Structure 1
């Protein structure tokens, strides 16, 4: 299959080689052309519109602002191949998904939402979990791409918003898990039990999951190299809170997490892994985390 790929951040750079390895012809566009040129076995595009000349286009841009700039304001769909399938794998708001759905409907272009669960290291192994929603026929057509990128595709119906709200809710839950581990290790350490010993117990018993193991290990070792940048995590918590507000729902725990993440960014931790929010949590609990 001929694939256009828009957005070569850390996730895109980890995903593209698996598509190439699976035998697909991949052409890529990125604002920073050097990032695209660093990938082997791909054709580098000079404009994002050229990506829509392929059988399918995967978009993995960072946020709503980037999506609006590259996809919406540019009127990129006007010149797209009519049989092209657009796969939106970015984590974006339900509001902009509705806008994208309408634009694709008017242009006669199939639109599939397929955000992913996993960090770049997981993507590089082709072990992502893919949350797919949209037209069933279009999803079936691009399933070989999902098979190259992930270990499982979760089909969430024909409304693309379902995939995006599932991704937003999942990321919100991860931040709540990080918050809880930050508070829990602050409690254990106040009684002399090392965070590493406590984290080893919980990640092998009641919370034996990859997220708890990964981020609990970061907290125990006070090591927060990305992974997934805290600024992007804050963006996703804001998406969750905005989505809840649109439905008149309250997310009080997420409000606390957002406050701590904002403080972490203000203290220069924005480029660290999002589990660095635990440094603020632990500092507020009375531990010396080296924060001003």
Structure 2
């Protein structure tokens, strides 16, 4: 398939690489040093989002936030061919995503919101969990692409439903990261080996993917980003906005959002979200900031 791929960040680069390895023909925006280090000459590079979209059967977006997607779609919409499939794999506002879906339909295309979970590891290994909103026919067209990018694809519901599922995912992940951080801090403050505690917890009801992956990172103090704190802060802001619009409250998510804000203020914005562990120790924050 001819694919326009827009977004060459930490997640986008390995996702594009996997599609190229699977035999798809990609035209990628943006052309950056980091993108060329991963993609080399296996893809073509576009000078604009419109150029990436113009001759593509499918356009995939993997961008940081709602305004980024809205800005790019301003270019993409004018370049779409009838029937082009637009797949937004960014994590953005469900309400904004529904508006974009209407705009794509008005331009003669088909739209899916398909945010992902699994971090850089999942993007690199092609094992992402993909949460999809949109029409079933468009989902079926996209399944060969999703099969390359992820290990699990779930059609959640109509446009915007994928984004709701992703926000829910980020609430669970954020609260669990903080729970693991506090548990390991308690162990360490008690003079007990946190690695032994982490191993023991993995054998019981507290076991989780967060404890498995991020527990050792916290113990070792390794916070190279798989998923940056500033992006998780954005996702929990989206959760707060969605809850406010529904007239409900997410007290736990609000607490963790405040901690992510504190981490950004402490200079940890581009650290992995596991670096919430550092907030338990002001000296550690100073060492890593």
Pick the TM interval, shorter chain: over 0.9
Gaps of 5+ in 2: none
Whole-angstrom distance in 2 between the partners of 1:33 and 1:289: 33
Aligned partner of residue 267 in structure 2, secondary structure: coil
Query: Could you say which residue in structure 2 is the equivalent of 1:216?
Result: 215
* Stretches (4+) displaced over 3 A: 32-38, 287-292
* Helix, strand or coil at the partner of 1:160: coil
Structure 1 partner of 2:23:
23
Distance 2:266 2:61 in 1: 32
Matches within 5 A, 1:203-282: 203-280=202-279, 282=280
Which residue number corresponds to residue 62 of structure 1?
A: 64
Q: CA deviation at 1:7?
A: 0.5
CA distance in 2, matches of 1:69, 1:62: 12
**Map 1:1-292 → 2, pairs under 5 A:** 1-30=1-30, 32-38=31-37, 39-40=39-40, 41-52=42-53, 53-72=55-74, 74=75, 76-157=76-157, 159-280=158-279, 282-283=280-281, 289-291=284-286
Q: How far apart are 1:133 and its partner, in Å?
A: 1.9
SS at match of 2:218: helix
| TM-score (norm. length: structure 2) | 0.93
Q: Is the 8 A contact 1:14 1:121 kept in 2?
A: no
Shift in Å, 1:259: 1.5
Q: Deviations over 1:205-260 (max 9, x none)?
A: 22333222111112222221211111111111111111111101111111111111
The 3-state SS of whatever aligns with 1:130 is strand
**Alpha-carbon RMSD:** 1.7
- Give the Cα separation in 2 of the matches to 1:49 and 1:35: 21
Q: Distance in 2 between matches of 1:36 and 1:182?
A: 33
- Contact 1:3–1:25 (Cα < 8 Å) also in 2: yes
What secondary structure sits across from 2:207 in the alignment? coil
1: CA distance between counterparts of 2:35 and 2:240? 34
Q: Is the 1:36–1:44 Cα contact (8 Å) retained in structure 2? A: no
Tell me how far apart the structure 1 counterparts of residues 225 and 285 of structure 2 sit (CA, whole Å): 19
Q: Please state whether the residue corresponding to 1:66 is helix, strand or coil.
A: helix
Q: Distance in 2 between matches of 1:63 and 1:144?
A: 26
Cα distance in 2, alignment partners of residues 234 and 83 from structure 1: 35
- Secondary structure (helix, strand or coil) at the match of 2:224 reads coil
Judge conservation of contact 1:29–1:36 (CA < 8 Å) in 2: no
Contact preservation (8 Å) 1:91, 1:164: yes
1:173 match: secondary structure = helix
Contact 2:11 2:120 in 1 (8 A): yes
Q: Indicate if the aligned counterparts of 1:237 and 1:254 stay in contact, CA closer than 8 A.
A: yes
Cα offset, 1:277, TM superposition: 1.3
Cα drift, residue 45 of structure 1: 0.8
Could you tell me how far 1:288 is from its partner in structure 2?
5.7
Equivalences, count? 284
Asked if the contact 1:199–1:220 (Cα under 8 Å) also holds between the matched residues in 2, the reply is no
